[in-house]
Structure 1
Amino acid sequence: MQLAVLMTNTDESEFAQRHPKDGEKFADLVHLVRPEWQVTSFSVKDDVFPDDIDAFDGVMITGSPASVHDTDPWVARLLDLIREIYAARIPMFGACYGHQAIALALGGTVEANPAGWVFGVAHSEVCKQVAWMSQLPSPFAQYAAHVEAVTGLPDGAEILSVSEACAITGFHIENKVFTTQNHPEMSHAFMSALIEEYAPKLPVGVGDAARASMLVKADTQTYGQSIARFFETHKT
């Protein structure tokens, strides 16, 4: 399996330089469950895009502090590429920003999350069972860091999971699209560091709630298996 990771993370701070880039994080997640798969990263936020997306069996789109409504040229180019990938029936997985970008590109809506910031460990209930998620518990835990959310789905999309703080934490379109609003690629150590970095910049109480949530660890490996089975389902 050959996967392309489209990196959208615009954070170039000192904090970001002390930690692995998202391409490495997603490759590590894939290799945790499918060590033989090949993963190639493209920093699309720096306008580095694949020359031939058809060379890949699947695409993963990362998270970012950027907004899908930003007017930077790379954002428009990414949305166009998402539509191209979808038309070519190449399976796409999107996390956080990727989840929102896929929704927006295909006709959905993204707005400020009505419940505000979701930060730390978030628990989602599975509301529709699909084959590749059959081993995922309900509720399942993921690391989260977002203040925008998908509020309307593209045509043909179905909600996969929900939470108290976010009405759509995942959706799918047949076996072509699979998304999560959260961050399956983040480690417990990285999320803990992210909380300490961002807590002083966020509304009062958000950081303390995020710290308290970290008593629980995310279902990283099980969710990673779901991602792998999604790509495998498309191949069968």
Structure 2
Amino acid sequence: MRIAILMTNTDESDFAHRWPMDGEKFPAMMRRVRPGWEFVVYPVKDGVFPETLARVDGVMITGSPASVNSGADWVARLEALVREIIAAGIPLFGACFGHQVIATALGGTVGANPGGWVFGQVEVTFTDGRTMPIYASHSEQVLQLPEGAEVIATGPGCPIAGFVVGDGVMTTQYHPEMEPEFVAALIEELADELGPEITARAHASLGTSPDMAETAEWIARFLEHKQSDIA
């Protein structure tokens, strides 16, 4: 399969460049379970978009510290592309910012988390009763689903932690691509912004690392349209 990665992460800090960027993280995650897949990265946050959706078998939209409510031109352009991808019947997966921009592109709303930052490792509960540990890093979340969307997961302080639209769209508010060492370092990097209470809580949450291969398999099955295996 040929997967387009729409890279939205606007962090160009020295810290960010000491770690693999999202254009590397998402393919690395998926190659754990689908080593033969081809990935093409488009840094849409820099205005670099696919010229065509031909030969694209699936699309993944990454996370970002940017807000979908920023009014940035590239965000509006990405929302239009989301609608085009869905109209073309190409499977679309979004994580964190990706989850949020899919929601707004389809008429949903995104705003500040009512309880403030959610950071560190959390337990996600799916509508079929399954649970999954995963990393969180968000101060905004989807507050209202777009028409036709269905919640598939909830998380701490986050009633819409993931949704589907038919069999062609699947999202998560969380970060399946993040490695434990990166998350621990990110908590320290953002400690001043998070404040002592959230920083301490985030550090305390880091226990047994999430199974990235399990999460990647879940995403891969969706992109392959194996809908019977999706919550």
For the aligned pair, the TM-score class normalised by the smaller chain equals over 0.9
What's the offset of the Cα at 1:31?
0.2
Amino acid at match of 2:115: A
3-state SS, counterpart of residue 179 of structure 1: strand
Residue equivalent to 1:205: 197
What's the offset of the Cα at 1:203?
3.2
Please give the TM-score of this superposition, normalised by the length of structure 2.
0.95
Residue equivalent to 1:67: 67
Measure, in 1, the Cα distance between the counterparts of 2:33 and 2:62.
18
Residue equivalent to 2:49: 49
Measure, in 1, the Cα distance between the counterparts of 2:82 and 2:100.
11
What's the offset of the Cα at 1:212?
0.4
- Identical aligned residues as a percent: 51
3-state SS, counterpart of residue 33 of structure 1: coil
Measure, in 2, the Cα distance between the counterparts of 1:206 and 1:218.
20
3-state SS, counterpart of residue 70 of structure 2: coil
Deviations 1:106-138 (A, max 9, x none): 111111111211100011111148xxxxxxxx2
May I ask how many residue pairs the two structures share in their alignment?
228
Measure, in 2, the Cα distance between the counterparts of 1:75 and 1:203.
29
Deviations 1:147-174 (A, max 9, x none): 1000111111110110232111111112
3-state SS, counterpart of residue 207 of structure 1: helix
Contact 1:176/1:234, CA 8 A, preserved across alignment? no
Measure, in 1, the Cα distance between the counterparts of 2:49 and 2:214.
30
3-state SS, counterpart of residue 19 of structure 2: coil
- Structure 1 residue corresponding to 2:149, chosen from 123, 147, 157: 157
Contact 2:91/2:223, CA 8 A, preserved across alignment? yes
Structure 2, unpaired ranges of 5+: none
Residue equivalent to 1:37: 37
Residue equivalent to 1:219: 211
- Structure 1 residue corresponding to 2:179, chosen from 183, 187, 191: 187
What's the offset of the Cα at 1:90?
0.8
- Runs of 4 or more, structure 1, over 3 Å off, are none
